[in-house]
Chains A and B, each alone.
Chain A
Amino acid sequence: MTTAPPPPPAPPETPAWRLISTLAVAGTLSGLLLVFVFQATAPAIAAYKAKMLRLAVHEVLGGPERYDTLYLVDGEFTPDLPDGAIAKDFKRVFLGYGEDGRPVGFAIEAAAPGFQDTVKLIFGFDAAKKQILGMKVLESKETPGLGDKIELDREWIDQFKGARTPLVARKPGTDTAEGEGGIDTITGATISSKAVIRIINGALKDLGPAVETYAAGEAKR
């Protein structure tokens, strides 16, 4: 009669401290490695972001000599943040100055839903003449070949230079009344082009009064 072989000894239970210490060591090493890589890459990343912003502001303001960042604090624009505040919590605009030291215009960022997803853009605004100085789409996921013309079609984008606010969308070929800022919509991308116009008008409704107050204050100085 054969007897069944004795069951193999159960594998020793890993003690809890080993489990926890493994995870703790792994976590600590991982954290240290990441801090190191972060320090190494942070300067390059920050420099790129600053450069892109500078280029965008330059493009929409027609090449100012320099520009200041203004933050919206308590409904008014000011170049200084309150003590201890983090910059990204505040809405901001940029005020460009020409070679003669006189203000050229404000660069305002804005974003809102377009046809496919959110469209993010920056535009230049002359508060005194109430005109757009330029427009640049920063981020968009509109349809390639159609909606993405808002980013790529130079002729369409150039329409914004000198357009009076508030902007009005018009079908290509029609005329707008004198004094209105008419922008032709793009055939096949009506919603995307109307979205850009809507975003700019919305941003001006939102920030326009504060911008004009600041501009008036600046002019007096």
Chain B
Amino acid sequence: MRQTTPGHDFLRGIWRENPVLIHMLGLCPALAVTNTVENSLAMGVATFFVLCGSSLLVSLCRKFIPNAVRISTFILIIATFVTIADMSLEAIVPTVHKALGAFIALIVVNCMILGRQEAFASKRPVGRAMLDAVGTGFGFIIALFMMGAVREVLGNGTFLGYSVFGESYEPWVVMVLPPGGFLTLGFLLLAIHWLQRRRAQRRDAETEGELVARERAA
């Protein structure tokens, strides 16, 4: 196993290996419930809870789970946490629960969660597994928040229910409808790719500059 530092385990899930924006996992909730910031945050927190809870349990029990049935056991653990999250949301914030609807239960097939159990939590001690889970969870929340912010501000003229542009703003209704979800994520990816290219070009330019300088000195 490649040795990674605890800091690395935590930070990589947040941006560099962001589950939604880089690995394209968990797209179904990322597109479906990000029509308002409130729903995005609620879904992000619910997924965060399921991810951390499952990672904790899987890591604790990793020595007792035989290899042949590991996927089934992971799914069982994840499904349990999802059901708990579902019932708790319905009891505590029923309006949010109604807005998220069936997508709370669909957290169980979020490839991101099963992926983290398989790749990491089942092979690492509890501390590292938790750092990884928390980092990835934060990354998920951040990605969903970005989607939700763009869609609600443009599509409804509000942010968390508070009017941003005032009365005269004609909202782009399409942004809170399904096409808006696809387009928002598409343009977000465009922006990220553009940033990545710029960084790569700058790095190439620096390396070239160093080579030229070395040749001149020689």
Contacts and interface: CB of A to CB of B under 8 A. Distances in A.
Say if the two chains contact directly (CB < 8 Å).
yes
A26 B84 contact: no
B196 interface: no
B171 A27 contact: no
B66 A34 contact: no
Contacts of A22: 64-66, 69, 73
A23 B72 contact: yes
Contact of B76 (A19, A26, A145): A26
A132 to B, nearest CB: 26
A41 interface: yes
Given A22-B73, A23-B69, A144 B176 contact: yes
A44 B97 CA distance: 13
A41 B87 contact: yes
Interface class of chain A by DSSP: helix
A143 B173 CA distance: 9
Contacts of B171: 145
A14 B156 CA distance: 57
A19 B71 CA distance: 12
Interface string A37-50: 11011001100100
Nearest to B66: A14
Given A26-B76, A30-B80, A33-B80, A14 B91 contact: no
Contacts of A44: 91-92
A38 B87 contact: yes
A34 B83 contact: yes
A144 B92 CA distance: 26
B96 to A, nearest CB: 12
Interface string B30-49: 00000000000000000000
Nearest to B155: A144
Contacts of B76: 23, 26-27, 30
A18 B173 contact: no
A188 to B, nearest CB: 11
Contacts of A38: 87
A14 B64 CA distance: 12
Q: How large is the interface on A (under 10, 10 to 19, 20 to 34, 35 or more residues)?
A: 20 to 34
A37 B90 contact: no
Contacts of B68: 14, 19
B69 A45 contact: no
A144 B173 contact: yes
Given A22-B64, A22-B66, A144-B173, A37 B73 contact: no
A138 B91 CA distance: 19
A37 B87 contact: yes
Interface in B97-139: none
Contacts of B83: 34, 37
A23 B73 contact: yes
Contacts of A145: 171, 173
A145 B171 CA distance: 9
A18 B73 CA distance: 13
A178 to B, nearest CB: 39
Task: Pick the 9 closest A-B CB pairs, nearest first.
Answer: A41-B91, A44-B91, A30-B80, A14-B66, A41-B87, A48-B94, A145-B173, A19-B69, A37-B84
5 contacts: A23-B69, A27-B76, A30-B80, A37-B84, A41-B90
Given A45-B94, A146-B173, 19 more contacts: A14-B67, A22-B73, A23-B69, A23-B76, A26-B76, A30-B79, A33-B84, A37-B83, A41-B88, A41-B91, A44-B91, A44-B92, A45-B90, A48-B91, A48-B94, A143-B177, A144-B173, A144-B177, A145-B173
